[in-house]
Structure 1
Amino acid sequence: MASFKFLPFLLLAIYASIAQAAPWPIHARHATHRVRHIGRRALKLDTFQPKGTYKIFGAEGIAQDTGNSFAKTGINDSAIAFVQSQLGVDPAQVGYRSGLDGGAGKFAYVKQTHEGVPFVNAVANVAWKNTKVVAFGSSFVDTKNIAPSKPSIDVNTVIPTVEEALDGQFNGQEPTIEYLAREDGSVALTHVVQVRNEDAGTWFEAYVCAHTGEILSVTDFVAHASYTVLPITKQAFPDGQEKLVDPADLLASPFAWHSDGIENTTSTIGNNVAAFANQTASNQTSAGLNFNTKYDDSFDPTTRSNMDAAVTNAFYIINTVHDFSYRYGFTESAFNFQDNNFDKGGRGGDSVLMSVQDKSGLNNANFATPPDGQSGTCRMFIWDQTNPRRDGSLENDIIVHEMTHGITNRMTGGGTGRCLQTVEAGGMGEGWSDAMAEWVLQKSDKVEDFIMGQYVLGSTQGIRQFPYSTNPNTNPLRYSSIRELTEVHNIGEVWANMLHNVYAALVAERGFSKTALTNPDTTEGNVVYMHLFMDALLLQPCNPTFVSARDAWIQADENRYNGANKCTLFKAFASRGLGLNAADNFVDNEDIPLGC
């Protein structure tokens, strides 16, 4: 890779962005901005997403006029008509991207367009219950100051510049032309180019002005985690390995885990995930479908037997998350990860690539989530905080956390991988991942405090500041805590602890199901919680805030359970400052609706 050279136009773009941002308090930018540090020389790029609006319409919903009702026109035209009616835009300015029938509702995701060119970051989403609109989010922008729609610079001339600036290589994904809304109110025409660095574990989508060649913004497909075969209901290696026979859920994986319905394997490669070690596909574990090598953590993780056992555990966990999340709505049409989608919607060819003992880092893990149709990539690292070292793939909460990044990035915004890019939304992404890891590990109606990453650190404190807890003396984090936070994992702790309180309230109200991983058709609290968790992802807007994400939970409950849990949810959120009248200002509010 060539040494990095600062490009004058790139520096100007960065300094201009920083200068505009200066008068605003840091926390006020969480919902619209995120600073990216890229490459070996820590290039600093301040990225922007338009401030969105989000409304939920409760049980009544909004009936569309008879000419544009869902029943008459279908999800595509109905979504465009509703956006037009709400925003007063011409139908030609709205482009349908994707949609699905999620069981508890129907969902459509659209983009603003201009002269047939879609926008990267001006998007909208519409949700229906039956034939009435129940939620609407939009970040459409004014187009008075918009660049011409025909590029004046060929994309092939900017790819080398992007590779050098972002310290990676063009990955061959076909570049596109899209508009990018900017902080100063202008709209730039951009070449959209994907760049990866396999050794460093980075994967960016760059937006390069098609008239000047400036790099204006990026989407980072990689979600990093700063924390750290076992049955998925066990947290880490000390809890004990078990031999499981045929654990695949044939509803979610109809040909089990080693077949796509066409080809069969006897290694850790299947329709949902390909697991291997050291970034090398040949380092898959092959065992004639008998993957029974035991892990021994008195030896270094890199011994051959430990490597095989780690790959097997990672393969098992990713598949298991695929299977239970499928039952709760992360299906082919909801943009999941599968090579063969069996003609059930979505784009195939995108099973998860799981790299165990990845050589690109230590003491961490990450998950890259490109758009539907491109494989997600999970990298698990070795941890050197103990002697012998420990393998993150033997701590299940870490793997579940990482796979959840793939779920939340795909289900938010319609499969683009672009809609958790602000500081606040990225923070919630970390929080959802911790919350999912906790959900699979809670064992009864006695909701225990939860600690992430104890095994890899060799410490009972784990890798978060506080245990997740309903006790404010154990975990004092509240909505207002975000005012002092700028890092996504720290913000994620606030959201994860709110969800811990939501989970505890639902279980206290409705009880606990021991079959929640395989049976989503009951009404116990942990089952209800996971339905609302997944439904809300489809409902919420692109780059949600805490407030809009909470509203999506409330509307999800209205859609699926006719609002039966509204008061329980509001009380739980309000207990941590995200009450009925909380605004996007990180000021605590404990109000709950009348009647609660």
Structure 2
Amino acid sequence: MVSFNKFLASVFLAVAYASSSIAAPRPAHSKFATHRARVVGRGLQVEAFHPPSTFQTFGEGIDHPLSKRTESTMEDSAVAFVGSQLKVDFNTIAVRSGFSGEAAKHVFLRQSHDSIPFANAVANVAFNHDDKVVAFGSSFVTPNSIASSSPAIPLEAAIATAEAALGGKFNQHPATLEYFVKQDGSVALTHVMQIQDGEAGIWFEAFVDAHSGELLSVTDFVAKASYQVLPIQKEMLTQGFEVLTDPQDMTASPAGWHNTGTTSATSTSTTAGNNAIAFKGTQSSVTTQSSNGLNFIFTQDPTQAPTVAANVDAARVNAFYLVNSIHDLTYKYGFTEAAFNFQQNNFGKGGAQNDRVTISVQSSAGIDNADFSTPPDGQSGAMRMFLWDFTSPMRDGALENDIVVHENTHGVTNRMTGGGTGRCLQTTEAGGMGEGWSDAMADWTEHNSSAVPDFVLGAYVENKASGIRTHPYSTNATVNPLRYSSIATLNEVHNIGEVWANMLHNVYAALVAAHGWSATARTDPTGPEGNIVFLHLFIDALALQPCNPTFVNARDAWIQADVNRYGGANKCILWNAFASRGLGVNAANFVDSSAVPAGC
């Protein structure tokens, strides 16, 4: 085992070497699509590398090599298509996961060597229901060298190295052996393990070179009955609590919110169930029903500290209600068991189970923030809600609906992009869009009419009308001037996310203006109204886009999602909305384009 100091020096050398292979000078944003720099553990800076993704969409679809074989599976067809497109040996393509959705079928694949998968060289293929390929993303590589598939460093030593660097402990999730593509074109063999410290908010996937013992990269999984609650369309408690009776959607949660199976023996009378568990401190510290019949009626008193018993109960109940509501809402629009959602019991409908969302309210691990950790399908998503100290008494983030919805949406976007791995929104640009999708979902949930007012996030917790973002989200370019080109001067994921969220705010406004607004969109996704169309495209595009997408990739995925589900009926609405904020046809490298396709 190397000493920590020696290890630290080796990692800094590795990072410096990786950085030096990029020709200088180049603007910092040139690496947004392939890199993410993080300070981890004891002040160690690690710059993770992800090979650039290519992404193609094919409108009504093109044939694949097995199109004429009626007996071929979508997995076989995807392997054949990737092999033919990239001219690689079929034996080096490994299927990781896949699912069939309403509008398209999806297969997620990895490059392999000696039957060992590549961690960061991945591909995804989408088929329409006519068995034609409609989208293809890839970060497959042609290595200039590849390490031996027999590790020289034992797993135990690699775990010790990762623990020392990252400040957590190996969480016993099964470690794997995977290849990892480095920026210089070489491929290292790595031990891959999860390092976690729940109290400190640490949850990393570490890639330790199985020959040299160096930490090469990390995946950060953290994206910093009747109930008296704030209905999901309300933003903050000043708008008033209500008692909602049986808000669960039984088509999305067939056993209800308080059952982890199908019998009374698996029922609970607490803030714990199949989709979520809300607690304070430990998972045994849940809120029990206030009266028989699954009634959770606890009155929050804003004049007292959030830590008094009634306020803790109100926070747990509200967070439990919201996470279940987002589960049911996103389920109706395609985030199902097979599409890698969060459930303890998947009822035989596909995907990995035992992964309900854990919600830690009033977490003592932080303040003035919230976060959500998204490990791979089969491990629980972890939400932590903190107190905010801008006021006296302090305010509770679990009682501001837009913050809870924002955090929960990280789980949706991280699971659906890349096929359930939790690894595919890790670059600076993709991570920024992750923040933007979360704000956009919070924005969507709070509309209560066809009006599209400016949207402000986080106004309650800071007691500030302007909220926690630099601008309100607005269709007015004077109120919010952010454009695609704004990213060139930004370097932080939340700031980059504001650009994407504001674009989606404008897309939403355009679709509602064209098609109207449905008051039942949360429970009925079948209508033609603009808010329904928006959320379908939001969810559909996540599975279409490549691992670590760029703004341009994500825009193209929305355009293709519209072809898949609506026959391209909204093509010009979408293009004009994106182009109005600089993401037109010729947008690239954070240079604006207002161009739209001919006919728009």
Residues in 2 aligned to 1:368 and 1:542: alpha-carbon distance in whole angstroms: 18
Runs of 4+ in structure 1 off by over 6 angstroms are none
Deviations 1:498-551 (CA, angstroms, capped at 9, x unpaired)? 000000000000000000000000010000000000000010000000000000
Q: Is there any run of 5+ residues in structure 2 with no aligned partner, and where? A: none
Alpha-carbon distance in structure 2 between the residues aligned to 1:479 and 1:511: 27
Distance 1:344 1:469, change over 3 A: same
Amino acid at match of 2:27: P
- TM-aligned CA deviation for residue 308 of structure 1: 0.7
3-state SS of the aligned residue for 1:243?
strand
Give yes or no for the alignment of 1:258 onto 2:261: no
Choose the corresponding residue for 1:441, options 436, 441, 446: 446
Between the aligned partners of 2:519 and 2:447, the Cα distance in structure 1 is 10
SS in 1 for 2:535: helix
Looking at structure 1, the residues matched to 463 and 368 of structure 2 have their Cα atoms a distance apart, in angstroms, of 12
Q: Does 1:163 align with 2:182?
A: no
- Structure 1 range deviating more: 135-144 or 497-506: 135-144
Aligned counterpart, 2:298? 293
Amino acid at match of 2:36: R
Q: What SS class does the counterpart of residue 407 from structure 1 fall into? A: helix
1:144 CA displacement:
3.3
SS class of match (2:223): strand
* 2:59 equivalent in structure 1: 58
One-letter amino acid matched to 2:599: G
2: CA distance between counterparts of 1:121 and 1:300?
46
Q: What is residue 339 of structure 1 aligned with on the other side? A: 344
Higher mean C-alpha displacement, 512-521 vs 260-269: 260-269
Q: Which amino acid aligns with 1:100?
A: F
| Correspondent of 2:286 among 284, 307, 329 | 284
| Counterpart for residue 87 of structure 1 | 86
- SS of 2:296's equivalent in the other structure is coil
3-state SS of paired residue (2:477): coil
Counterpart AA for 1:468: Y
1:582, 1:487 → 2: CA distance?
21
Letter in 1 for 2:155: V
Distance 1:249 1:458, change over 3 A: same
Distance 2:469 2:69 in 1: 46
Q: How does 1:88-107 map to 2 (within 5 A)?
A: 88-107=87-106
Work out which of the residue numbers 571, 577, 580 in structure 2 matches 1:575. 580
Q: Secondary structure at the match of 1:47?
A: strand
In structure 2, the residue matched to 1:32 is: 34
Aligned counterparts of 1:153 and 1:465: Cα–Cα separation in 2 = 47
Q: How far 1:14 sits from its partner (Å)?
A: 2.2
**Contact 1:401/1:434, CA 8 A, preserved across alignment:** yes
Give yes or no for the alignment of 1:539 onto 2:544: yes
**Amino acid in structure 2 at the alignment position of 1:357:** Q
Alignment partner, residue 189 of structure 2: 189
1:302 aligned residue (293, 307, 323): 307
**Which residue identity is paired with 2:272?**
I
1: distance between equivalents of 2:239 and 2:93? 52
RMSD over equivalenced CA pairs, Å: 1.2
CA contact (8 A) 1:69 1:78 kept: no
Q: 1:375 to 1:6 in 2, by over 3 A?
A: farther
Match of 2:396 among 391, 395, 403: 391
Q: In the aligned structure 1, how far is the partner of 2:43 from the partner of 2:238?
A: 38
**Cα distance, 1:24 vs structure 2:** 2.7
Using the alignment, how far apart are the partners of 1:432 and 1:68 within structure 2? 35
State the alpha-carbon separation in 2 of the partners of residues 273 and 481 from structure 1: 38
Q: Map 1:81-230 onto structure 2 (within 5 A).
A: 81-129=80-128, 130-224=130-224, 229-230=229-230
Q: CA deviation at 1:389?
A: 0.3
| 1:459-498 alpha-carbon deviations (Å, 9 max, x no partner) | 1010000000000000000000000000000000000000
Give the whole-Å Cα distance in 1 for the aligned partners of 2:118 and 2:352: 21
Greater shift in the superposed pair: 142-151 or 178-187:
142-151
Partner of 1:73: 72
1:595 pairs with one of 584, 595, 599: 599
Residues 1:330 and 2:335 aligned together: yes
CA distance in 1, matches of 2:534, 2:43: 40
Q: SS in structure 1 opposite 2:190? A: strand
Counterparts of 1:105 and 1:448, CA distance in 2 = 33
Q: CA 1:437/1:71 → structure 2, altered by over 3 Å: closer, same or farther?
A: farther
The corresponding residue for 2:379 is 374
For 2:168 and 2:146, the matched residues in 1 are separated by 30
> Cα offset for 1:18?
3.3
Residue 241, structure 1, aligned to residue 241, structure 2: yes
SS at match of 2:219: strand
Paired with 1:333 and 1:94, the residues of 2 have a C-alpha distance of: 22
Native 8 Å contact 2:475 2:509 kept in 1: yes
User: Does the 8 A contact of 2:180 with 2:189 survive in 1?
Assistant: yes
User: In 1, Cα distance between the equivalents of 2:15 and 2:90?
Assistant: 35
Give CA-to-partner distance per residue, 1:380-432, whole Å, 9 cap, x none: 00000111100000000000000000000000000000000000000000000
2:277 maps to which of 274, 277, 295: 274
* Matched positions, count: 585
Residue by residue over 1:267-297, the C-alpha shift from the partner in whole angstroms, topping out at 9 and shown as x without a partner, is 011000011013x112110124221011111
Residues 185 and 333 (structure 1 numbering): CA distance in 2 closer, same or farther, change over 3 Å? same
Question: 1:223-249, CA deviations, whole angstroms, 9 ceiling, x for partnerless residues?
Answer: 01xxxx211010011010001111110
**Is the CA contact 2:472–2:480 (under 8 Å) kept in the aligned structure 1?**
yes
- Contact 1:180-1:189 within 8 A present in 2 as well: yes
Residue pair 1:5, 1:165 contacting (<8 A) in 2 also: no
In 2, Cα distance between equivalents of 1:565 and 1:68:
29
Q: Where does residue 15 of structure 2 map in the other structure?
A: 14
Provide the secondary structure at the position in 2 that maps to 1:72: coil
Question: Helix, strand or coil: the match of 1:455?
Answer: helix
User: What is the CA–CA distance in structure 2 between the aligned matches of 1:595 and 1:71, rounded to whole Å?
Assistant: 38
Report how far residue 23 of structure 1 moved. Answer: 3.5
The alpha-carbon deviation at position 143 of structure 1 amounts to: 2.6
Cα distance change, pair 473–90 in 1 and its aligned pair in 2 (3 A)? same
Letter matched to residue 588 of structure 1: D
- One-letter amino acid matched to 1:74: T
CA distance in 2, matches of 1:461, 1:313: 24
Q: 1:462 to 1:136 in 2, by over 3 A?
A: same
Distance 1:20 1:391 in 2: 46
Using the TM superposition, give the Cα deviation of residue 17 of structure 1 relative to its aligned residue in structure 2, in angstroms: 2.6
CA contact (8 A) 2:67 2:131 kept: no
Q: Whole-Å Cα distance in 2 between the matches of residues 542 and 507 of structure 1?
A: 30
| 8 Å contact kept, 1:68–1:77 | no
- Contact residue 417 and residue 547 of structure 2 kept, 8 A: yes
Deviation at 1:68, TM superposition (A): 4.8
Report the alpha carbon displacement of residue 365 of structure 1 after superposing the two structures with TM. 0.3
2:300 maps to amino acid: Y
Kindly indicate whether residue 513 of structure 2 is the aligned counterpart of residue 511 of structure 1.
no
What amino acid maps onto 1:148 in structure 2? S
Match of 2:528 among 520, 523, 529: 523
Partner AA of 2:306 in structure 1:
P
Report the equivalent of 2:570. Answer: 565
Letter in 2 for 1:334: A
1:157 to partner: Cα distance:
1.6
CA distance in 1, matches of 2:11, 2:50: 19
Q: Which amino acid aligns with 1:462?
A: G
